Structure formats: C-alpha cells, structure tokens
A and B are shown apart, each in its own frame.
Chain A
Amino acid sequence: MRSIDKTALLFELLLGTDMFLVNQKIEKIRYSPEYMRLYRASPMLSKTQSLTDVAQRFAKIDLYGILSLKRALEVEQEIYELDRRLKKFPSINPYLSDGNEKDYNVKTLGNIGVEINAQGMSLNDFVTYKGVLSNNRKKILKLKAFNWYKEAKVALMEMVDNSNLMLRKIRNGKVFYFSLGIEFYLSLFTTSILLLYILFCPEMAAYRANPNNSIYNLMLIVNLVSNGVVMCLHKIYASFPFRIASAVRKQVITQEKLSQKLDQVSSKFERQLINKAKAPQKMDILLKKIAIVGENRHYSPIDLLDYAYCEKEYYYCHYRALLHIYNIFFVISFLVGITLFFLIFLGI
C-alpha cells in the first residue's frame, strides 16, 4: 500500500468520509492496472445482475477498504460511459492521443442533494439542522458539509477550466470543411458545369432559343433545387461551430462570474466552517449558488469533449437526420446532373 493511500485513508478516518479524497483515490484506482485487469476480466454490469453479484465482484476490487459499493457502481458507470464513447468514436481516443489529457478530467458537479438524502435528511432539514439534537451529530454534519463544499467547489473550478479549454479547442478547430467531405464540392462542380454548358455551349443554342423541352426543364429544375437544398444545409452546418462556440463562450463567462463570486464568499465561508462556523445558513447560500452554476451549463463537459475531440462523430451523432437529408439531395442532384449531360450529348 502506497504512502499516499495510507495518508489519505488516515485523513478519511479522522475527518469522516471525505469525498474529495475518496474521489482522488477512485481516480487512482480507476487507472490502476489491477482495477483494469479485473474490469476487463469481469462481465459487463447489466440491469439483470443482482446486487449480491455486484457486491461480490467489487469485493475483489475493494483493495483499499474504502471503496463502498455505491461509489464502486458510480465508478463502474463512469468507466462504462467512457468505454461506450470510445467505441462510438473509434477514430480519436482523447485520453490517449491528446497532449492535454492530463489537464482535462471529466468531472460532474457533486450531487450534494443526493448525498444529503443518503444521510436520511432533506436539503431543508440539513441546512436548518432540523431534528439534529446532539452536538456530535452537528459536528459530523458540519464536517460533511465542509467536505461536500470542497468537492463542489473543486468540481466547479474544474468545470470552468474545462469549458475554457474546450472553447479554445473549438475556436482553433477546423471543424466544418473536413466534416462534410467532398460531396458538397462535387455537387457544386457538376451543377456549375451543367449550367455553363446549357447557357454557353453552341450545341445548346436551339434549346436556349426555344426552351420547351419538358424533360430538360424538369431535370434542370430538380438539379438546381437539389443543389439549393445542399447549399442551404451546408450553410446551416457551417454555422454550428460558431453557434456552439458562442454558447460555450457565454457559458464560460457566466461560470467565471459565478466562480469569482463563489471565490469571494468561499474564503470567509471556509474560515467559518473551520472555526466555529454556523455553517447551515451559509451552506444554503452556497448550495443555491452551485445550483445556479448547474443551470448555466448549456453543454455538459462530456458533450464538449465529444465536440472538441471527435468533430465528425459529433456531427454525425447530433445531426444525423440533417446529414441524411443532405446526402439524399446530393445524390439526386448528382444523378440528375449526370443524366442531363448524357441526354444533351446524345441529342435526345
């Protein structure tokens, strides 16, 4: 057992359940070879598995004696999610290929409400100490509040950093032109040639003088409409990165403002908690602030991660219908254009 784990464990025992340190420990366990080996060797978790099975399975992993079943399941879920996303986006593995991987951790905001409920209390009861009579219990709750607060604050700060990092990536990314491929240019090219041919080619003079050939007209209209649709979709696609970047920028600005406010109150708040704080009222304010930050998340870190690292896949997954429409119209436009060429050459 490494000295850092021993020390972390000692502090956990001394301070009660310290979620911040537990999180750190879980991160370490998550990437430890032992865990990964067991994880790969074990069958995937399914809804049909009984809790006993799960408990037995995690008893093997619980080397450090502090990984509770609940936390282990959460870790399992996180790994499962990571695995799912990597399978879905095989072209890029952000955790292995990008130099920024160490600076970026996917972290969710600590679910304080759930933690409080797990203590058998409602949020309101918690912040008012309702029904808490013994000083010892109050002390424990205060300690827990402190730990939750620290966890939430770290998560918030990380979220702001992550959003900033993602924003930089989005701004620097060349997303669009490589995402839609060659189809757009091919479609544009064939239609342009077709139009030039019809408008300026000497063989088409008779048609231009008397454009009553209904097949030519119909095909030309279909081709032009299809191309119009393709161009519109192209334009809509082109605006997505800017829209997302704009929304993320707004999100970052809001989050930064909130984190600055939080920082302003937090040092005082921490001091009060450490000393003889009357934590509950302050905790109430803090929880509200964290809730506001949560509401201001237009894009979750996972979405942003997908977007910044796996652009093509992100488009494919999020705008699949639009992409299919785009492809259908491209095919129509292309086929009609080619057919029209043949008809003109054959002189029908």
Chain B
Amino acid sequence: MWTLDEILRKLEETKSYCYDKDNHIVLTKEQIGECISTNFEDAIEFYESNQLLETFEKVDDEIANKIKDYKKKYSTPEEVVFRLQYDFNPGLLFSYKEFVFRDIKQLGDAILNKDIEMDAVEEILKLKLISYYLRIKKIDTIDEKMFDAILLAEDYVNRSKEVAYYLLGYILGDIKYYKYGKQKFESVIDLYAYLSKKKKINVFSKIVETDPVFFAWLFYLGNKSIVDQWNNIVEDTEEKEKIFKEERTENETTKV
C-alpha cells in the first residue's frame, strides 16, 4: 500500500484522483481516508507544512476549502486531520492516532477495562471527537440519550477528567452498576437502602467525594442537575461557614 507521501506526490503529478489515465484507474477518496487514518502522525505533519492544502488545491477544490475552513475553526491539527479522514471516507472506524476501535462500544469497554489511558481519553473528549464521530455515523439521531450523555462528558472533561472518563465508560460500555465493596447497585435508592441498613453512610461519606466513579454513575443515571445543585449548596454553605468562623474569631479577639 502506498504511503501518504506517495499518494500526495501522485496527486500532485496527475492533478486529479485518476493516476492511470490509460487504464482509467482512479485513486479513491476512501483509500485516501484510510491512508490518513493509518498515517495519522504523517498527515498532521503534511497539514502543518501546508502540503496537504497545496496538493488538494490542485486536485479537489471542495476538500481544499474544507481544509481552509477547518484551519480557521479548529486550533489543533489533530482536530482537523481527524475530521478530514471522515470527509474522505465516512465509513471509517473510530480512529484517532494509534487508537482504532471497531465501534464506540469497544472504546467504552477499553475504558472500563483500563486498556486505554485516561490522558488519551481526556484528549479525545476535549477535542469533542466522539460527538463528531456519532454525527458522521448518524447515531446522534438514532440514540439521542447516548448522544446527550456524550456531549455532557465532553463538556465535563474540563471540570473533572476522571469523572468524564468513567462517565464515558458507563455510557459506552456494558457495565451499568456502581460497585461499593462487594455489592453492585443499579439505582441510587438501592445504594441508599443498603447504606442505611448497614449503617455505612458515615463510612461511605469519607470516600464519596474522592470517588469519580460514583459521580460518573450519578451522571449516567441522569442526575447531573442534582449534582450541580448539590455542588452549589455545598460551596454556598462552606462560604457561609467560613464567614461565620471569621466573625466568631473577630468577636473573640474583640472580647480579649
């Protein structure tokens, strides 16, 4: 198979997708898309050196215009190249750098099995690549709930990458329960009933704030607004407590 460099040179020569005019053999867009996907790092280099743009300006105005648009719209070359590969070949698997997944469910499984590093997922979420991929595959209209959850994870990654990471795992993977100790819970009321019965709320409270899986699970169950409300109340109360303590200290100092 040709490398991306070879393909670009051929396109430069022929100034069209047809590389063997005598035999009417055409270099398909799908092939180019696949080539970008397999040579992602090279594609980034060619994009950064403007070779990609220069080549397609001679071959395909539509693609050249898209590259120009992407350049204006997106700040990183990764975002541009990721989108570009699907412009050539919308049928591609989910592919980003060295990661290729048969579908996004496989990505979810990889997260839950910890086969993919958190930093890589963080990058994917920050660049909003999964939602783009779902739109390309038209999954956004088929499974709106999942699409909304993905958007939530992509938004939340800037606040907590751990929560976003596990949330993505819950959305895409097969595991839908929260595991506390040896128990598995599928609803908040189940968890609450267990903690109340076993008088473990106090113990649970000591780990809950530092447990991103718990919050990811709550988000997955659709409790984002409640968690936000809770965060606001906690912040507000802590602020009040701080003021209260300061006032008390001031009063005590004044008395002394």
Residues on A lying within 8 angstroms of B by beta carbon are 1, 3-4, 6-11, 13-15, 18, 20-21, 34, 63-65, 143, 146, 150, 270, 274
Contacts A/B (CB < 8 Å), 16 sampled: A1-B238, A4-B202, A6-B234, A7-B204, A7-B205, A8-B205, A11-B188, A13-B229, A13-B233, A14-B188, A14-B223, A15-B189, A15-B192, A146-B189, A150-B196, A274-B187
What total of chain B residues lie within 8 Å of the partner, measured CB to CB?
Answer: 28
CA distance A9 to B206 in the complex (A): 14
User: Does A20 contact B196, Cβ atoms closer than 8 Å?
Assistant: yes
Asked if B201 CB lies within 8 Å of chain A CBs, one says yes
User: Does A14 contact B218, Cβ atoms closer than 8 Å?
Assistant: yes
Asked if B155 CB lies within 8 Å of chain A CBs, one says no
Distance of A335 from chain B, by nearest CB (Å): 59
CA distance A202 to B147 in the complex (A): 116
Residues in A with CB closer than 8 Å to B209 are 3, 6
Asked if B246 CB lies within 8 Å of chain A CBs, one says no
Asked if B241 CB lies within 8 Å of chain A CBs, one says yes
CA distance A63 to B238 in the complex (A): 9
CA distance A53 to B208 in the complex (A): 38
- One of B193, B206, B244 near A3 (C-beta < 8 A): B206
- One of B187, B202, B227, B244 near A63 (C-beta < 8 A): B244
Distance of B228 from chain A, by nearest CB (Å): 10
Interface of A is mostly: helix
Closest B-chain residue to A24, C-beta based?
Answer: B201
Closest A-chain residue to B208, C-beta based?
Answer: A7
Residues in A with CB closer than 8 Å to B218 are 14
Residues in B with CB closer than 8 Å to A20 are 196
Distance of A237 from chain B, by nearest CB (Å): 44
CA distance A300 to B38 in the complex (A): 79
User: Does B208 contact A9, Cβ atoms closer than 8 Å?
Assistant: no
CA distance A16 to B129 in the complex (A): 36
Most A CB contacts (10 A, CB to CB) among B208, B227, B238 go to: B208
Q: List 17 additional A-B contacts (Cβ < 8 Å) besides A4-B202, A9-B234.
A: A1-B241, A4-B201, A6-B208, A7-B205, A10-B208, A10-B230, A11-B192, A13-B229, A14-B188, A15-B189, A15-B192, A63-B237, A63-B240, A63-B244, A64-B237, A274-B189, A274-B190
User: Does B201 contact A14, Cβ atoms closer than 8 Å?
Assistant: no
CA distance A3 to B201 in the complex (A): 10
Closest B-chain residue to A3, C-beta based?
Answer: B205
Distance of A277 from chain B, by nearest CB (Å): 11
